[in-house]
A and B are shown apart, each in its own frame.
Chain A
Amino acid sequence: MILCERCPDNPTCDNCLVALRSGGAASKVVPPRTVKVTNLATMESFQAKLVAVSRTTIGLSSSDHDLHGRIEIELAYDFRIIGSGLRGIAGDPYYIIDIEKVLRREDVLERLLLEEFHTWHMSGELDPADVLLHWKDRDDERGRLIKQEIQKLSILRQIETIFLYLYDEGKVRPLGDVRANSEVEREMQRLVEEAAGSGGPVREQIVTADGTKVFELYTSVLPDRTCGIALIDVTAVIAEERKRKRREWEIYRDILGVVTEGKLLLLSDEELFFLLREGHKLLAIDIRLPEQLAELRRLFKQALEPQGISDKRLLQFLVAVNEAASNTLKHGNGGVVTLYLSNDKQMCRAVIHDEGQGILLEDIPRATLQQGFSTRHSLGAGFHVILQYCDRVYLSSSLAGTKLILECILSR
């Protein structure tokens, strides 16, 4: 058999196709393509020539390496075939590979889609060595490599709107016709210039002046030392993530409400604002030291006694407020305690605001409902007391800190 290199000069030879045993569906690869082959038993990688393809088998030529056993054939970064090799023609370095899997982007197929293969083969996608040789002339290849880098960032895989640019010799230019608006491009140019000196990949965020669009900017240094830039519109993804977090928050709010029979409620900042508008402020105290707790209790007593609250009820409310204020000292640098009286004077609310990093949503049940004797400095029962002695407790926590609102009906 005269194989491959002379095949174009001998179009009547079809030995390589016959050996595939795929009938008329097989076709020659003209000219043969150099592909990377990895022996999956030894993980040794080498090159071979792809000579013929069919839906279920492919033919490889390799005079240097034995292709028996399981191998992976890499046609491109996102186009791989896994199969088992057998000698195709006795006496020739020609192997038939039975296809087990075709890995194409996120799909796994058991057959090679010939149309797709031919599209790939005819598309001008070259061997990596060729790509490097003609790098400067191949913006489409640059675009592909930038996207390939981006695919490594799993969070960005769902993104549809990607603008590709190239930073070369101090200038940013788009790869292709699709580009972002000029305001975003100006900001991108500024960030890329700042990032150019770092040499490594850079990830930044750009928000439009009107706040309606958010872009992720991702730069990657390419093999020819230019810098590939991907600008990704993540507005929809962020909106979806916010919705998901809001749903999660609502689930926690509902569960806490049920478990505490409506006594403990999570509150958004907006709801908190409207809640406190229902009353007027009587006093506010900054608590930074344990010694200030006695003064806090004295001032609360002074403010609430004239409102007709019973001694027992007042003491219980003072214990609850005191516990919450103590927590701001135990877990941070203190906070501000504010007392509000409702407009109808039937109810008071104490707001304990610490400026810590907030409580993670998933930690709230443990922080509020679990009673324990964990530390020497506290019985670990502070929140239990708060829930027992207040008529209702609201909790609002964010990165700006935690606000606890303790509600007490004065006439009870």
Chain B
Amino acid sequence: MDYRATEANGQATLFFVGELDMAVGDRVGELLQQYGGRNQSVTVDFQGVSFVDSSGIGSLFFTTKELLAMGKQVEIVNVREEILDILGVLGFTEALGIAVGKVGETRV
């Protein structure tokens, strides 16, 4: 898994690329924590994500919950159709209640 990040005016965007599985799950959570900690708003761009599983997004899930509890804004955008399907089966989107956008959409 690779990533790229931009930050400006309290707004960070994280671009993840590759497969989010058990091997990188903690790293994904740490990155979100790091950028969310110093910005008011974080956008996670999933366009480059080709695989997710419960271990890969477990840490992302809990870190997102913590940021939301702190009053921060978090959204996930550009999620591929097949990845969105997996997130739905995992209960990720329903449990978090945040905006998750498909590829080509800004938000859902």
Query: Could you tell me which A residues sit within 8 Å of B by CB distance?
Result: 289-291, 293-294, 297, 311-312, 315-316, 318-319, 322-323, 326, 329-330, 371, 373, 375-382, 384-385, 388-389
Chain A binding surface SS class = helix
Please state if B90 and A381 are interface contacts (CB–CB under 8 Å).
Answer: yes
Query: Could you tell me which B residues sit within 8 Å of A by CB distance?
Result: 19, 21-23, 25-26, 29, 51-55, 57-59, 61-62, 82, 85-86, 89-92, 95
Q: A297-B51, A315-B82, A323-B54 are in contact. Are A377 and B19 (CB under 8 A)?
A: no
Please state if A376 and B21 are interface contacts (CB–CB under 8 Å).
Answer: no
**Residues of A close to B26: CB separation below 8 A:** 377
Please state if B54 and A376 are interface contacts (CB–CB under 8 Å).
Answer: no
Residue of B55, B58, B85 most packed against chain A (CB within 10 A): B55
**Residues of B close to A293: CB separation below 8 A:** 21-23
Q: Given A291, A294, A379, A389, which contacts B54 in the complex, CB threshold below 8 Å?
A: A379
Please state if B57 and A379 are interface contacts (CB–CB under 8 Å).
Answer: yes
A378 to B55, CA, bound (A): 4
**Residues of A close to B54: CB separation below 8 A:** 323, 326, 378-382, 385
Please state if A322 and B21 are interface contacts (CB–CB under 8 Å).
Answer: yes
Chain B binding surface SS class = helix
**Residues of A close to B59: CB separation below 8 A:** 376-377
Please state if A290 and B21 are interface contacts (CB–CB under 8 Å).
Answer: yes
Q: A318-B51, A319-B53, A322-B53 are in contact. Are A376 and B23 (CB under 8 A)?
A: no
Min CB distance B65 to A, Å, is: 9
Please state if B89 and A377 are interface contacts (CB–CB under 8 Å).
Answer: no
Q: In this complex, what residue of A is CB-closest to B95?
A: A373
**Residues of B close to A316: CB separation below 8 A:** 85-86
6 nearest A-B residue pairs (beta carbon) = A290-B23, A379-B54, A290-B22, A378-B58, A382-B54, A326-B22
Q: Given A319, A376, A384, which contacts B62 in the complex, CB threshold below 8 Å?
A: A376
A249 to B19, CA, bound (A): 39
Please state if A294 and B23 are interface contacts (CB–CB under 8 Å).
Answer: yes
Please state if B51 and A379 are interface contacts (CB–CB under 8 Å).
Answer: no
Q: In this complex, what residue of A is CB-closest to B52?
A: A319
Please state if A385 and B55 are interface contacts (CB–CB under 8 Å).
Answer: no
- Given A290-B21, A294-B21, A385-B89, 20 extra CB contacts under 8 A: A291-B23, A297-B51, A311-B82, A315-B82, A316-B86, A319-B51, A322-B53, A326-B22, A326-B53, A326-B55, A329-B22, A330-B22, A371-B91, A377-B55, A378-B54, A379-B55, A381-B54, A381-B91, A384-B89, A384-B91
**Residues of A close to B19: CB separation below 8 A:** 294, 297
Q: Given A322, A375, A380, A388, which contacts B89 in the complex, CB threshold below 8 Å?
A: A388
A377 to B61, CA, bound (A): 10
Please state if A379 and B21 are interface contacts (CB–CB under 8 Å).
Answer: no
Q: A329-B22, A379-B91 are in contact. Are A373 and B61 (CB under 8 A)?
A: yes
